[in-house]
C-alpha cells in the first residue's frame, strides 16, 4: 500500500511511485502511435474520413465510463472488506491476550499466544499462495503436517484445545473459556471472509467484456478525431487511453488485495503489529521493529 505525505499540486503531476502509469505506459504509447498514423493517413486521404461521426464514440465512452465505475466500486469493496477482516483478526487476537491474563502457568499462556501469532503468519502466507507451514514454523508448537488442507485452521484448532485443557485444569473459568472460544470462532470467520475474497474473483465474462471494449474504444477513437483535431488527436487519444487503461489496471490490482502489488493491503505490516503485541505481552525484548514504508510502499 502506498503511504506518502500529500504532495503539492505541481509535484503530483510528475509523481510516479504509486501511479499506475508504469503498468499502462506501453499500451498508451501504442495507441498514441496508432493515432499518429491515422492522422497521417487522414492528411493523405482526407475523403475517407469526412463521413466519420463522433457521436457514437461519445455515447460509447459515457456508457463505458459508467460500467467501469461499477467494476472499480466492486473491486474497492473487496479491498476494503479484506482490510476490515484483518482488522477483526487484530481485535480478536488482542482480546485473547487480555482474556488470558488469568492463566497462572506462564509457560502455557506463552505457548497459546505464540500459536496465535503463528496463525497470523500462516493466514498471511495462505492468502498469498505461499507455504503456510514455513511461514509459521518459528511460532507454533506442536508442528503440524504441512499437507493439511486448512493449515491456518489447524493452528486455531490447537489453540482451542489448549484453552480446553486449561479450562479442565481449572486455570480458566467456564465463562472465560466461552469468551475465548467465541474469539477463536471470530478468527475463523475472518479467515473465511479473506478466503472468499481470494478465491472468488469478479465474473470473468464481465471483466473480459470491459477489457475488449476499452481496447476497441481507444483504437477506434482516433478515426473520429483525426479530421476535426488533426495533430491534436494523438494527445487527446493518449489522455483518454491513460484514463481508461489506468482505471482498468487499478481495478485489477484491487480485485486481489492480498498480493504484493504496490496498492495491495500491507498484510506484512499488520502481521508484524500482531507479532509485536504478543511479544510485548510476553515480555520479550527487544521487540522486532514495526515495518515502515520503503520508497513509499508499505508491504
Does residue 1 lie within any of the structural domains?
no
Instruction: Kindly report, residue by residue over 236-282, the tens digit of the pLDDT.
Output: 999 999 989 988 888 888 999 998 888 889 999 999 999 999 999 99
Among the listed residues 246, 226, 213, the one whose alpha carbon sits nearest the alpha carbon of residue 27: 246
Q: State the total domains in the chain.
A: 1
Q: C-alpha angle with apex 143: 137 to 145, nearest 5 degrees? A: 105
Measured between alpha carbons, how far apart are the two ends of the chain, in Å? 6
- Find residue 294's DSSP bridge partners: 297
Which range of residues forms the domain containing residue 101? 19-43+54-281
Q: Is residue 169 a part of any domain in this protein?
A: yes
| pTM of this structure | 0.88
Reduced to 3 states (helix: H, G, I; strand: E, B; else coil), residue 110 is helix
Tell me, yes or no, whether 231 lies in a domain: yes
Tell the residue number behind the cell numbers 472468488, with chain if given.
200
**295 pLDDT exceeds 90?**
no
Task: Let me know the angle formed at the C-alpha of 132 by 130 and 135, rounded to the nearest 5 degrees.
Answer: 90
∠ CA(205), CA(73), CA(186), 5° rounding? 100
* Cβ(177)–Cβ(164) below 8 Å: yes
**Domain assignment of residue 78, yes or no:** yes
In a domain, 199, yes or no: yes
For 164-209, write each residue's pLDDT tens digit.
Answer: 999 998 888 999 999 999 999 999 999 999 999 999 988 888 888 8
Amino acid 230: pLDDT: 85
Q: Beta partners for 2? A: 297
Q: Is residue 5 part of a domain?
A: no
User: What 3-state class would DSSP assign to 45?
Assistant: coil
Examine residue 297 and state whether it is found in any structural domain, yes or no.
no
| 212 falls within a domain | yes
Q: CA-to-CA distance for 237 and 156, rounded, in angstroms?
A: 54
Amino acid at each position: 500500500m502506498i503511504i506518502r505525505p500529500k504532495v503539492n499540486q505541481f509535484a503530483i503531476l510528475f509523481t510516479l511511485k504509486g501511479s499506475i502509469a508504469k503498468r499502462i505506459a506501453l499500451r498508451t504509447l501504442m495507441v498514441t502511435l496508432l493515432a499518429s498514423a491515422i492522422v497521417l493517413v487522414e492528411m493523405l486521404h482526407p475523403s475517407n474520413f469526412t463521413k466519420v461521426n463522433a457521436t457514437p464514440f461519445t455515447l460509447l465512452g459515457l456508457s463505458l465510463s459508467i460500467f467501469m465505475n461499477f467494476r472499480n466500486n466492486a473491486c474497492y469493496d473487496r479491498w476494503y472488506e479484506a482490510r476490515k477482516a484483518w482488522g477483526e483478526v487484530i481485535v480478536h487476537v488482542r482480546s485473547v491476550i487480555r482474556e488470558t491474563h488469568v492463566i497462572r502457568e506462564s509457560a502455557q499462556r506463552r505457548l497459546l499466544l505464540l500459536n496465535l501469532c503463528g496463525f497470523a503468519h500462516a493466514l498471511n502466507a495462505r492468502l498469498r499462495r505461499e507455504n503456510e507451514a514455513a511461514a509459521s514454523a518459528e511460532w507454533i508448537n506442536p508442528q503440524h503436517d504441512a499437507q493439511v488442507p486448512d493449515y491456518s485452521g489447524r493452528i486455531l484448532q490447537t489453540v482451542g484445545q489448549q484453552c480446553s485443557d486449561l479450562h479442565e485444569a481449572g486455570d480458566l473459568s467456564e465463562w472465560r473459556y466461552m469468551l475465548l472460544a467465541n474469539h477463536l470462532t471470530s478468527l475463523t470467520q475472518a479467515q473465511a471472509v479473506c478466503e472468499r475474497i481470494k478465491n472468488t474473483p469478479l465474473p470473468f465474462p464481465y471483466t473480459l467484456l470491459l477489457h475488449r471494449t476499452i481496447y476497441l474504444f481507444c483504437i477506434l477513437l482516433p478515426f473520429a478525431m483525426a479530421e476535426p483535431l488533426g495533430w491534436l488527436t494523438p494527445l487527446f487519444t493518449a489522455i483518454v487511453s491513460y484514463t481508461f487503461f489506468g482505471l482498468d489496471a487499478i481495478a485489477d490490482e484491487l480485485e486481489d488485495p492480498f498480493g504484493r502489488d504496490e496498492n495491495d493491503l500491507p498484510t506484512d505490516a499488520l502481521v508484524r503489529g500482531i507479532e509485536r503485541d504478543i511479544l510485548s505481552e510476553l515480555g520479550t525484548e527487544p521487540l522486532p521493529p514495526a515495518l515502515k514504508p520503503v520508497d513509499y510502499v508499505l508491504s
